[in-house]
A and B are shown apart, each in its own frame.
Chain A
Amino acid sequence: MSKFYTFSPIDNKGKPFPFESLKGQVVLIVNTASKCGFTKQYEELEELYNKYKDQGFTVIAFPCNQFGHQEPGTEEQIVEFCSLNYGVKFPIMKKIDVNGSDTHELYQWLKNEKAGLLGFKGIKWNFEKFLIGKDGQVIERYSSIKTPSKIAPDIEAALKA
């Protein structure tokens, strides 16, 4: 069994979200921020989610305040912002660190599984994405500038696999 399914991050209401429940699904993990130039990617992420959710796809957002302090709000404020501005329905987790000494264990695993540009493992900025296959393995890692709509072909391929 992939280690991916052993993680159980805390959601925005403070409850564990066991990834075991994601078995057999294609998952897009994204570190997000509300005050970033890339924040509008929420819109495309929601579109992807709506388009493929019935085929076994989900997006999971991890708000993070480590890049330019662009996610300063509380969990409630983040959820309200995403809901009001982008109609986000996909799960939003509790704010975490994705780099440094307090990195969430999920991100430690993701970064080790798939390094970024030049082999640096660290997350460079908000809205980096990891695509996880039905078997819980990391298929691909995308930089912030890769918009969600451009990932759609990879999602479709993963869903068909």
Chain B
Amino acid sequence: MSDTDTDTQSNSTITQVNIDQVLQVLEDASIECYETKDFISFSTVLDIHLSDPSIYTEEERYDILMKLNEIFNANHDLVYEVGWDIPPILIAFFNCEMKPVFGLMKEKTTVLILKLFEIMSFHGNPKEMLLPCCELISGLKQDDPYTEEFISSLESREDRYFYREKPLRVYMLKFHSLLQLISSCLRRNQTIVPSRFLSMVISKLISFLNSDPEHSRQITVSRRLYTFLRDYVPPDIPDNNQDSIDDLRIVLKQENALQRKLLVFFYSVLIDHLTKPMVPQLINHIYPNMLNPEQKNQLDFLEDFEMMSRFCGLGLSMDLDYPNSYKFEVDKSIELFNQCKKPLNNSDDIFELVIQDYNLTKNRTIAEGLPSLSTSSIVFLYTYYQLIDKPKFFQFPKISFVELVKFQLYTYVPFILNPKLCNLSVVASLMIQTLNSLNDKSLIELNQEQIHSQFESNESGKTILFSYLQYSTTLVFNSNDKLLIKLYFTLLIKIMINLKEEISYQFIFDSLLNCPPFDGFQVGLIGILKDLLMNDRIKVVTKSESETTTNTNTNTNINTEPIEDKLETLKLSGSAPPPPPPVLPPRVTKYIRLTDERANDLMLLFDVFLEETFLINEETEEVELELQTDKLNSLLALLNLINSVRSFPVELVTPRLKDLETNVEKFTNYKVNVDDYLAFITFNVDKAKRFYGVK
């Protein structure tokens, strides 16, 4: 076939394609290239005629694919020579329109494409096919869906379903075909340095994950990638290898180690990628398992968990040790804070400390004997392993609250710096772990001691604690995930009741005054403050405290008691042992007491909220009144707190209620259409007036 013939063919218009001619050209070219040994010319013919398969009808495409199957089945040498050029051509065929049919085996052209991929995987040149396949898979994305207009124009329900599903189905078919071909290329490519090819494949698969994150998390994709990892077998050594046995042994040992690292690395990336949207599963299913460990939920019925369970098992088969890896990461973060000699005055200091370490170590130091996993994947896998796949008798490491706070800062700071790194499932997992630690009866004393000695009694410790709370707040509220926010408030109240009241109050008040305007944060925080102001902290005097008290009293008595009392004591000791000291009654106090100073603080906060809620916009020529409804919620929450606690000084409450009434009147007079809000404010003001006796 001459070049002129080829040009003539390629210039044919879409409507004038002569399929018989095309089939004949393909047939002739396949014979001609054997005679001339110019296999590239066959590739050129393929490119010219098949680079845009959409110019053919479905029947014509079927004929072309049949022809290619015939040619390649009969000429395996040709497949070896031109195989590298075929995958992009075949991938383009997947995109073509077809009559709606249901069931893969009924899609005649699709079946032929898959058969051609199979021929490539058996007979193509694995080394040469690897690169184009990797390039194709790395940028794979789901095509745009059909417009709703088109879908609704279809008459049958089946057709509408077919076209709705088609983009995803095509994406999956392309991915499946390419990954299968890549896997077979890796296996068939005889080499003594398989890690070089595996590293290329893994880097492209990571690009694939990032190219279309939503669809690359589809269960079908994760199943294929799981199988890819599980079934990876290194290629054979080339038949003509000349290395000595000893040299070969050294190379193979190094190569095995490199391949192990690459597979574990990809596993780690994959876990991080797949788990990112799993916050609902964690909070709805895994968290209840923590609360009721005896009534462990059976979660296999959930597709996500079935897959995650497989991945968890796969990690174990790759010698990953989740509890030890987790403990190692926690210890590393503790060491970072413990070795810091500079005082930590504010959250910027914490940020700098963590980021410097992150940059120095690339967030990784490989522990002796522990394969490297990313911090995110360790946290998720450990939580999953502990709460779902929990071995019956295994004692998981006990991590205290203080240690977890440091570990969370170490994990969260990079999330804040680069939102692409942020994995909210990891945030949820760590919140669950923190609740677990605070609920663990065996850790109560240690937690209390560490909170006091490391956080409450020094400024750097307080900075660590407050930074942790601030960063957690930022991550959680930036996520807009309602479940995560709910879990966060559950954790926050648990933390607050474990802190000294001054510290809890300081955090809450500072946050109310200065925090960024996260939707719902102030309202939630006021709710927590209300609970802490109203509920009793029952402090049972412990045995050790009681003994300390008794000893202290005894010592004091020895030094200061009147002599008569000492004689009395001697008399008693001579006859019978002194009676035990009376058991001290439990001390009852509120978690946060409403002192005068705090009442003043909260009234000032009320003034701020009031000012922010009722705005007078003077920018326009006419003065306009504006009701900031998002601020109003905070104001109402504070009013509700005042109504619930009922022990604010009347002289502080009265002027505020009057101010509020005045503002409401202004709006009423101005006839701004916010009647519902105003009625609600009025209702609460009336309630407060009744409680506080304001006339």
Contact = CB atoms under 8 A, between A and B. Distances in A.
A119 interface: yes
Contact of A118 (B256, B300, B309, B385): B256
Interface string A62-93: 00001111000000000000000000000000
A66 B316 contact: yes
Interface in A91-122: 97, 99-102, 117-122
Contact of B394 (A101, A120, A123): A101
Contact of A66 (B313, B318, B321): B313
Given A67-B313, A69-B309, A120 B318 contact: yes
Contacts of A97: 391
A71 to B, nearest CB: 12
Contact of A99 (B230, B233, B260, B316): B316
Nearest to A111: B319
Contacts of B318: 120, 122
Contacts of A99: 313, 316-317
Contacts of B310: 68
Contacts of A124: 230, 317
A119 B371 CA distance: 12
A117 B318 CA distance: 10
A125 interface: yes
Nearest to A119: B256
A117 B252 CA distance: 12
A121 B319 CA distance: 6
B319 A120 contact: yes
A122 B317 contact: yes
Contacts of B362: none
A158 B322 CA distance: 38
Contacts of B694: none
Nearest to B263: A118
Interface residues of B, number: 26
A69 B257 CA distance: 30
B469 to A, nearest CB: 32
A69 B319 contact: no
Interface in A136-161: none
Interface in B592-651: none
Contacts of A69: 300, 309
Contacts of B253: 119
Interface residues of A, number: 18
A102 B392 contact: yes
Contacts of B150: none
Contact of B391 (A101, A118, A120, A122): A101
Given A100-B391, A101-B391, A68 B313 contact: yes
Interface in B459-498: none
A119 B300 contact: no
Contacts of B260: 118-120
Nearest to A118: B256
A99 B323 CA distance: 13
Contacts of B259: 118
A102 B394 contact: yes
Contacts of B313: 66-68, 99
Contacts of B391: 97, 100-102
Nearest to B255: A118
A120 B262 CA distance: 13
B234 A118 contact: yes
Interface string B264-301: 00000000000000000000000000000000000010
B393 interface: yes
Contacts of B234: 117-118
A117 B233 contact: yes
A11 B316 CA distance: 25
Instruction: Tell which of B257, B309, B319 has the most Cβ of chain A within 10 Å.
Output: B319
Nearest to A122: B317
B396 to A, nearest CB: 8
A19 B266 CA distance: 40
A99 to B, nearest CB: 4
A120 B233 CA distance: 12
Interface in B381-406: 385, 389, 391-394
Interface string B313-341: 10011110111000000000000000000
Contacts of A120: 260, 317-319
A120 B234 CA distance: 13
A118 B267 CA distance: 15
A68 B305 CA distance: 11
B255 to A, nearest CB: 9
Nearest to B314: A124
18 contacts: A66-B313, A67-B313, A69-B300, A69-B309, A97-B391, A100-B316, A100-B385, A100-B389, A101-B321, A101-B385, A101-B394, A117-B233, A118-B260, A119-B260, A120-B260, A120-B318, A120-B319, A122-B316
Interface of A: 66-69, 97, 99-102, 117-125
Given A69-B309, A122-B319, 8 more contacts: A69-B300, A100-B322, A100-B391, A102-B392, A118-B259, A119-B256, A120-B317, A120-B319
Which 8 pairs across A and B sit closest by C-beta, in order of nearness?
A102-B391, A122-B317, A99-B316, A101-B394, A100-B316, A119-B256, A118-B256, A124-B317
